[in-house]
């Protein structure tokens, strides 16, 4: 991946090899396809819809607009800047989904049911018009209500058990073809980069960055393979008024305790997934440094790629190293803050102030580093070694005799 050759400056047209436009098209199409197709949006609050159409009125419009921004536009932007956050969310939801599936053994639920539940995919509706997108806590409470208490289980629980996995997939209009195309494009980019390295042909920084995007997208796709996609409305579960969960009302800005992406994209706290369980916190806490480290390690592999100046070279190297360590730094700050709160009595304000402000610095610097790396990946195309424009001869990888 190094080159001590005469560099080619400026835009290079496509002749007998590949040109600048070929590199740009291959990388940009892969990045956009990975980012756009891998995002699995949670469902909007069922209280802003009636018969499949948005309810008229400013509160409903405002809630729907906020949902689109928080769970649509913001995730797409964040996925471009830091796709490893998307990977972290996918793995966290998979872990939570498996836990829910294990908890719902009596209902014979699949992983698809559990992941759809996390999306806010089931909504109770009473004859009086009350609605609630419920979570695993309501289901477990309903199951426990009929065990040795002398009370009957709510009727809506049996209706929920009747929902088949095929019905969820039909409701969500999931497209396996879209996932297959996106995964194929990501795998093709990975294969191309590996082939160029094996052939000792130069790899551009943009291709290295695209490889990192593809790796994150593939991991997220594996974690979300059973998760429904493209659902616009929850599945309505009829419920009697007397069976409606007590003390629960529909929140127009619905975000359940297991739907992590809303808090993640809002940038509130990505150190530990707030799930209320020590083991889940421990697992997710371990994922925090792992996901950015994988993304950063791919960029560190481009350590010896020649750039136009030494300043750019070392800024790129420092940025790649920071990507590898930022997650560990942020996790360490969160752990230190928890220790401060435990050691100092009534010091919640002290521990609470140290952690958020330090995290803000870490995350802000991370955003600046990622923006620099994105700009530099494109800027580096202005000067490349000749071998960067050579096409891979795939026939050389096929065993043959001469």
pLDDT band at 125 (very low <50, low <70, confident <90, very high): confident
Of the listed ranges 121-130, 148-157, 309-318, the least confidently predicted one is 148-157
Q: Which two tokens stand for residue 33?
A: 């396809």
Q: Look at residue 208 in the predicted model and tell me its pLDDT.
A: 94
> Is pTM beyond 0.85 here?
no
User: For the chain, what is the total number of helices (H) and then of strands (E)?
Assistant: 14, 7
User: Which residue from 122, 112, 119 is spatially nearest to 234, judged by alpha carbons?
Assistant: 122
Q: What is the mean pLDDT of residues 3-18?
A: 70
For residue 124, what is the enclosing H or E element? strand 122-125
Query: Cβ(32)–Cβ(83) under 8 Å?
Result: no
Q: Which residue has the tokens 């790796």?
A: 215
Q: Is residue 374 predicted with pLDDT exceeding 90?
A: yes
Give residue-wise pLDDT tens across range 194-228. Answer: 999 998 888 999 999 999 999 999 999 889 888 88
More confident residue, 49 or 255: 49
Q: How confident is the model at residue 270 (pLDDT cuts 50, 70, 90)?
A: very low
> Per-residue pLDDT averaged across 79-95, rounded?
86
Mean pLDDT computed over 4-18: 72
Cα–Cα distance for residue pair 50/317, rounded to 1 Å: 53
- List, in sequence order, every residue forming a beta bridge with 125; answer none if it has no partner: 131, 238
Q: Which range has the worst mean pLDDT, 71-80, 83-92, 229-238?
A: 71-80
Dist. CA 324–CA 292, nearest whole Å: 6
Q: What is the DSSP letter of 132?
A: E
As a whole number of angstroms, the distance between CA 118 and CA 200 comes to 46
Q: How confident is the model at residue 267 (pLDDT cuts 50, 70, 90)?
A: very low
Contact call for residues 334 and 328 (beta carbons, < 8 A): no
Classified as helix, coil or strand, 49 is: strand
Q: At what angle do helices 83-103 and 136-145 cross, to 10 degrees?
A: 0
Which of the four pLDDT bands, split at 50, 70 and 90, describes residue 48? Answer: low
pLDDT at 257: 39
* pLDDT tens-place string over residues 305-338: 888 788 999 999 999 999 888 877 766 655 544 4
119-141: average pLDDT: 83
Which pLDDT score, from 0 to 100, does residue 315 have? 93
Residue 58 confidence (pLDDT) above 70: no
Average pLDDT of the residues in 110-114: 91
Q: Which residue has the higher pLDDT, 156 or 43?
A: 156
């Amino acid at each position: 991946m190094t080159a001590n050759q005469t560099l080619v400056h400026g835009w290079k047209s496509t002749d007998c090899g590949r040109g600048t436009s070929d590199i740009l098209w291959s990388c940009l199409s892969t990045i956009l396809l990975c980012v756009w197709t891998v995002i699995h949006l949670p469902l909007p609050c069922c209280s802003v819809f009636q018969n499949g159409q948005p309810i008229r009125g400013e509160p409903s419009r405002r809630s729907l607009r906020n949902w689109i921004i928080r769970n649509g536009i913001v995730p797409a932007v964040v996925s471009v800047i830091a796709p490893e956050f998307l990977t972290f969310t996918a793995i966290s939801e998979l872990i939570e989904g498996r836990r829910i599936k294990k908890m719902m053994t009596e209902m014979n639920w699949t992983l698809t049911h559990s992941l759809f539940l996390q999306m806010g995919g089931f909504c109770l509706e009473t004859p009086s018009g009350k609605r609630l997108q419920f979570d695993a806590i309501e289901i477990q409470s309903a199951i426990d209500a009929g065990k040795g208490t002398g009370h009957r289980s709510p009727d809506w629980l049996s209706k929920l058990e009747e929902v088949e996995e095929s019905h969820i997939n039909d409701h969500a209009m999931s497209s396996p073809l879209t996932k297959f195309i996106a995964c194929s494009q990501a795998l093709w980019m990975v294969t191309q980069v590996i082939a160029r390295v094996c052939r000792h042909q130069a790899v551009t920084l943009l291709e290295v960055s695209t490889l990192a995007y593809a790796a994150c997208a593939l991991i997220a796709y594996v974690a979300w393979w059973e998760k429904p996609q493209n659902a616009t409305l929850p599945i309505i579960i009829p419920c009697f008024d007397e069976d409606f969960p007590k003390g629960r009302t529909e929140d127009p800005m619905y975000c359940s305790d297991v739907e992590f992406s809303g808090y993640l994209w809002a940038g509130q706290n990505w150190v530990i997934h707030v799930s209320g369980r020590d083991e889940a916190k421990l697992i997710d806490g371990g994922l925090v440094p792992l996901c950015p480290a994988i993304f950063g390690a791919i960029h560190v592999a481009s350590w010896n790629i020649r750039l136009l100046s030494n300043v750019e070279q070392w800024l790129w190297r420092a940025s790649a190293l920071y990507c590898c360590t930022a997650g560990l730094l942020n996790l360490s700050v969160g752990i230190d803050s928890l220790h401060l709160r435990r050691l100092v009595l009534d010091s919640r304000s002290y521990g609470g102030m140290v952690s958020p402000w330090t995290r803000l610095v870490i995350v802000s610097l991370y955003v600046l580093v990622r923006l620099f790396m994105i700009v530099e990946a494109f800027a580096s195309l202005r000067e490349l070694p000749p071998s960067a424009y050579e096409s891979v001869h795939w026939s050389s990888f096929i065993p043959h005799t001469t």
